[in-house]
Each structure stands twice: as C-alpha cells, then as structure tokens.
Structure 1
Amino acid sequence: MHEQQLKRIREKLKILQSLDPEMDLFGAENHEYEMDPVWTTERIAVFEQNWKIRLPEDYRAFLLHIGSGGAGPYYGLERPDDGVYAVIGYDDELNAISDAFQFAEAWNWDYDWYDESKEEEEWDALDHEYLDPKWSAGLLRISDFGCGISMNLVLNGPCSGEIWTDDRANRNGIYPDHYWGNTDRLRFLEWYELWLDHSIGELHEE
C-alpha cells in the first residue's frame, strides 16, 4: 500500500545525506542521518498491546521498513518507546496515549499571559492546568522541535493519523502542523516526505 512512497523516502534520504556532508541542516548533528533499527511486526504488536493503542498504518509501515527513530524533522525522529512520555527529555511522567484525543481543531486558552494584575499564585495554578498532560492525551510524540515544542502523531479519534504540534511551552496551544506551508493536514509519511523535499530544496539554494 505504501511501497512507492517508502521507496521515494529512501531515495530522498540518501540524496539529502549526500547534499549535507557537513551536517549543516538543523538537527543533522543530532541524528547524523542514521536510522534506528526497524521493528518487527511482533515488536509493534507488543508495543500496541502494552499501551492499548493501534498505530496508524503508514507509521507502522515506516517502522517496519525504514526505521524506528533517527533521521527526521527537527532534532530527528523519537523512538516510540520515548514518545510515550509527557515531557521531552524526562521519563518520569507517562502521557495517556490510549485515552481519547479531544480536539478536532486548533486549541488554546484565550489568556493574556502577560497580565500583571494576577497574583503569582494565580498564574502558577493556571500554568499547572494549562500544561496538564490531559490536554495531550491520545498523542504519541515523534519529534522534538526545540524550545519545548513537540511534534505528535494522533492515535485515535477523528484526527487519527494526523501530525499535530504541542506548543504549550510558548503558550501557543495544540494545533495541526502547517510548518512547511502545507494547507492540508498531514499524515506521517506525507509529513516525513515533505520534510525531505523542504530540506533538499533548502540545501540546493545554498
């Protein structure tokens, strides 16, 4: 089903690596264009059973045929086992990835975060609520954008399979990813290939 797209992705990844021997592209020094080993169908099944989820088919195909992490957008692709945690870089709080993802449209709080009339305790309480992992339930983190921003794969609900950005760290909420100028919402393989196209074009311009 995804054979042709996976073939294109392999070819474009080789082209991108050949264009960037000095690893000048953002994030390249982190992933070094290396891919973590592919997963087997058995390992995917265990992961899904452990977390009571079903991974989107195109992401499953990527895990089976390209890799389970490594070269990818921003600081690279995270391994699924790392993407289950609520906070980037910390493995002490799990995200409720099997719970329902509750948004169909971009979400944020309409607050003036620079309002000086509130007391510090009020802001601390609002901040704690705003950053509560309940808002990111149903999301598997797949990439670290930097500055506390993460890229995520929606695992359930009407938006299942789409890539969404969690930018609460900068008070910008949670929303479908449109970073590369795409007007349509992207699924995993579309998002990954668009990164390749964008990166190859960027390096050709230099």
Structure 2
Amino acid sequence: MDESLDSRLAGMAARLDRLRELDPPKREAFSSMRTAGRRPGGYIMFGADRHGHRNQPLTEAQLGALEGAMGVALPGDFRAFLERIGTGAGPFYGIDRYQALLRDATPECARPFPTGERGPFFTGDDDDDGLEHGYLPIIERGCGDEVGLVTAGPRRGHVVNIDMGDQWILGPDFLTYYDTWLDRSIDQLSRTPRPTHVYWVL
C-alpha cells in the first residue's frame, strides 16, 4: 500500500476512535426506547443506531468476490479502505455490509458512468428503469435514496448522490467524502453545549 494512503487511513482509524469516544451508546436511551416499542436511540449521530460506530474490514477473498461479480476492479483507494477500515461506520446509515455490497455488485458496475456533474435519474426512454450502470451502491441515505461509488468511467472513485426518481449529483472522491464526514461529525459532537442529534448532509 502506498505510504501516503496508509498514513491517511491510519488517521481515519484514529478519528473513528475519537468519534466512538464522543458518541457512546446511552444505556438509558436503549431502555426507554425499548419500552416504547421503538428502535433504540442510544446515539447522537444519525444512523449510528444501525452501525454503532463499528467497522468490519473485508478479507482479500471478499474483495475478490466483489470484483469478480462486477467484472471490474474496485477503485484503489476504496479497496484499501475496505481492507483497512471496512464496512460499518460512515455517513447516513453507514457503509453497507459486505452482503449488501455483494448483492449490488453486478456487471452493470463495469459500464461507464454518465459524464457531467449531475443528471436525471430517468432519461425519459420508454424502457428506462433509471440509472443502473457505472456505480456500486455503498450507503443507504433513507427513503430509497443512496450514495454510490463510481466504478467505471472518467469519474471512477468519486461518490455520487442518488435521489431515486429525481437526479444524481457527483461528489468528491471517496476518501475526501469520508474525511469530511469524520471532521464535521467530530466538530459537531465536540461543541458546547453538546448537541442532542447530529444529522449528516452531503
């Protein structure tokens, strides 16, 4: 692994540790929410109830299976991220688990993603099922919306914000996107008075 990339990922791992310190699960919240018959709400960060600020690195065999299913190699920085840090803690509901990534890893990922900075989700063709190629869904935003990783084409390695039924908007490269989430999350959780809820916005 490139030394600068290794150093960057080590910095991310350290900030993830800091994030866990700033937003631990609250036992009293879990207890009260269970009695109300709803999902436990033990974290300040939106989405952390699902991933608990935990990450699960992927094995070489799992990474190879993803690439085999897609018919194209994962972008290098994202591959290194999955190997070193893994799925789990991340923006919105977090980086999708391996099983979900594998489910969405299809040969469509090897077809070039559309050019430009944004575009419609539907093109208007009679047989149009929406944007389906050139990216791997990696983050669930809620209400059917998602964040994808461009896997083929000139913007390979960038994230793309996908509003189902509306439009897609290209974002930065994945590591910059994740860095920004970490920095903003830690900044907001470190404020006085402490927030009661932190929601990530792209």
Taking structure 1 as the reference length, what is the TM-score of the superposition?
A: 0.74
Counterpart AA for 1:26: F
How far apart, in 2, do the equivalents of 1:188 and 1:11 lie?
18
Asked if 2 retains the 8 angstrom alpha-carbon contact of 1:100 and 1:138, the reply is yes
* 1:107 is aligned to 2:127: no
Question: Equivalent of 2:108, from 81, 90, 96?
Answer: 96
Question: Equivalent of 2:139, from 143, 155, 172?
Answer: 143
How far apart, in 2, do the equivalents of 1:13 and 1:110 lie?
37
Q: Which residue of 2 aligns with 1:115?
A: none
Asked if 1 retains the 8 angstrom alpha-carbon contact of 2:71 and 2:107, the reply is no
3-state SS, counterpart of residue 151 of structure 1: strand
Q: Structure 1 unaligned segments of length 5 or more: list them.
A: 87-92, 112-125, 178-185
Question: Equivalent of 2:22, from 16, 19, 27?
Answer: 19
Identity %: 31
3-state SS, counterpart of residue 120 of structure 2: coil
How far 1:58 sits from its partner (Å)? 0.6
How far apart, in 1, do the equivalents of 2:143 and 2:125 lie?
17
**Mapping 1:33-72, distance limit 5 Å:** 33-36=53-56, 38-67=57-86, 69-72=87-90
How far apart, in 2, do the equivalents of 1:196 and 1:61 lie?
18
Aligned residues: CA RMSD: 2.6
* 1:174 is aligned to 2:168: yes
How far apart, in 1, do the equivalents of 2:92 and 2:107 lie?
21
Q: Which residue of 1 aligns with 2:199?
A: none
Asked if 2 retains the 8 angstrom alpha-carbon contact of 1:84 and 1:97, the reply is no
The CA deviation string for residues 10-29 of structure 1, in whole angstroms up to 9 with x for no partner, is 11001111001131111011
